[in-house]
Amino acid sequence: MSQPACVLLLSGKRKSGKDFIADRLQCRIGPEVCQILRLSGPLKEQYALDNGLDYQQLLDSTTYKEMYRAKMIAWGEEKRSADPGFFCRKTIELAQPDRNIWIISDARRKTDLAFFSENYQKVLRTIRMTCSDDVRKQRGFIFTQGIDDAESECGLDECVTWDIVISNDGDEALLDMDIDHVVRLVQFMYEQNKST
């Protein structure tokens, strides 16, 4: 199993800006050393193969993905019931060895946290994206029963202490300060791990 210098595990509700923040962090840290890994990537790829769907469209924030979201979640839950770390392992198999700062952009379940805590405890930092429902609605969020009240959206709402909480409600100055804080932390961890 690959041993990164730093793992940032991002979590948040739909339309809270997880991918947006992941992209900004990668850009600021440097794409030559930092990569974004999505737990949903292997899930969507296999689901697309099994069902004759367009994998690339399942990766986008589009209505195409939303049409299949509920069935994809149910299918993923079956896989996780049999093996809770299945998608986590599949995701890190895709990691490029020359980029040893990982941003896991979409942790959704306690089993995701458990997997990364058990395997990468010394280099792991957990980050929760917060965003008001009003702002999420402006970004296209519509509450969908069976999705927004399911474990994939609510599994990490309680009983989790996050290392960092980032507010993504549209205040750019606050968001930049939060991102600066994370970037400095990553740089410190990266230097520490290079010297050991």
pLDDT at position 168 is: 94
Indicate whether 2 pLDDT > 80. no
User: Integer distance in angstroms from the first to the last C-alpha of the chain?
Assistant: 19
Query: According to the annotation, is 51 in a ligand binding site?
Result: no
Query: According to the annotation, is 119 in a ligand binding site?
Result: no
Mind listing the pLDDT tens digit for each residue in 93-112?
989 988 999 999 989 889 99
Instruction: Name the region of 30 (left: φ>0; alpha: ψ -120 to 50; beta: rest).
Output: left
Query: According to the annotation, is 41 in a ligand binding site?
Result: no
Query: According to the annotation, is 71 in a ligand binding site?
Result: no
Q: Give me the domains of the chain, ranges plus CATH numbers.
A: 6-194 (3.40.50.300)
Q: How far is CA 177 from CA 118, 121, 180, in A?
A: 30, 25, 5
Per DSSP, 85 falls in state T
* pLDDT band, residue 1 (cuts 50/70/90): low
The closest alpha carbon to 14, from 111, 144, 161, belongs to: 144
Residue 90 DSSP SS3: helix
Mind listing the pLDDT tens digit for each residue in 156-188?
888 789 999 999 998 999 999 999 999 999 999
Mind listing the pLDDT tens digit for each residue in 40-94?
888 888 888 889 998 888 877 668 888 888 888 888 888 888 998 988 998 999 8
Whole-structure pTM value:
0.87
Query: According to the annotation, is 79 in a ligand binding site?
Result: no
- Burial (Cβ within 10 Å: 0-12, 13-18, ≥19) of residue 71: exposed
pLDDT at position 57 is: 85
Can you read off the two tokens belonging to residue 99?
A: 């980029």
H/E segment holding residue 112:
helix 110-120
Phi, psi (degrees; rounded to nearest 5) at 131 = -165, 135
Q: How far is CA 131 from CA 14, 24, 34, 65, 166, in A?
A: 10, 17, 25, 22, 9
Name 130's bridge partners: 167
Strands of the sheet with 6-11, listed across from one edge = 34-37, 101-107, 6-11, 124-130, 164-167
Query: According to the annotation, is 13 in a ligand binding site?
Result: yes
Query: According to the annotation, is 168 in a ligand binding site?
Result: yes
The sign of the torsion formed by the CA atoms of 84, 85, 90, 95 equals positive
Mind listing the pLDDT tens digit for each residue in 120-149?
999 999 999 999 999 999 998 888 888 787
Mind listing the pLDDT tens digit for each residue in 30-44?
999 999 999 888 888
